[in-house]
Amino acid sequence: MAHIWDTPERFADRREAGRLLARRLKVYAHRDDVVVLGLPRGGVPVAFEVASALHAPLDVFVVRKLGFPGHAEFAMGAIASGGVRVLNEEISPAYMPSTDVIDRIAQAEALELERREHAYRNGRPPVPIEGRVAILVDDGLATGSTMRAAVAAARRSKPARIVVAVPVGSVDARDALAAVADEMVCLRTPDPFSAVGLWYVDFGQTTDEEVRELLAAPAGGRAEAEKGE
């Protein structure tokens, strides 16, 4: 199921986008079976605002893009925790690198994935998602390969429901994610789409330190703390 709403043509920044996105997720507010998972790095500021508004725990869900050789910004696929690998089905097999090349790139990204998981949580264990509603949040969807890997990986933890929530995305990516998630929430699907960053006034790089600070902030962990009282 996919939902689309009218929003400003461009979001001021990721934090504003997160606040607007949270309004469309109000049905999940103040529930003890919801967890918000931000895809680093850019998805975490968006997810922080969603988690704060919903009074839900915030965690990071690390996924790494597999960049095309010589064109690292072009995603030929992605990997996620648990050994999940998703390849971009829009790329013709004739243009895909050999299996050996893909494996080599995936192995390098797997090392970075592991490093980030340890660095972002600062020793904290992942928030459990089994039996809960997992809301996967990113700052936007271009090809959607990164989010597809996240959905596939999250399924392995047996959540009750997977909701994909993004401020902006291409029509093709939105439709592809709607087919694999239990619910797809996308505020805007501009056509032509071009790139995620074009739909933000401020699309500055999110740093590792900012991710750590947001994950450690009281707002993101409020629900977990309340449950423990």
What confidence score (pLDDT) does residue 145 get?
Answer: 85
Range from 4-13, 43-52, 84-93, 118-127 carrying the lowest mean pLDDT: 4-13
Residue 105 lies in a domain: no
CATH number of the domain bearing residue 196: 3.40.50.2020
Instruction: Quickly count: other Cβ atoms within 10 Å of residue 85's Cβ.
Output: 17
- HSE-up (13 A, CA, CB side) for residue 54: 32
178 in any annotated domain: yes
Residue 107: inside a domain: no
Q: Which residue range(s) make up the domain with 8? A: 2-62+129-228
Residue 73 lies in a domain: no
Q: What is the pLDDT of residues 193-226, one digit of tens each?
A: 999 999 999 999 999 999 999 999 875 444 443 4
Nearest CA-CA partner of 87 in 100, 74, 78, 98: 78
DSSP class of residue 156 equals T
Q: Which of the 8 DSSP states describes residue 139?
A: S
Asked whether residue 94 is assigned to any structural domain, the reply reads: no
Classify residue 116: in a domain, yes or no: no
Output the pLDDT for position 7: 62
Separation of alpha carbons 60 and 117, rounded Å: 8
- Residue 151 belongs to some domain of the structure: yes
* Total number of domains constituting the chain: 1
User: Is residue 118 situated within a structural domain?
Assistant: no
Q: Which residues pair with 169 in a beta bridge?
A: 141
Side chain identity at residue 105, one-letter code: I
137/159 Cα distance (integer angstroms): 15
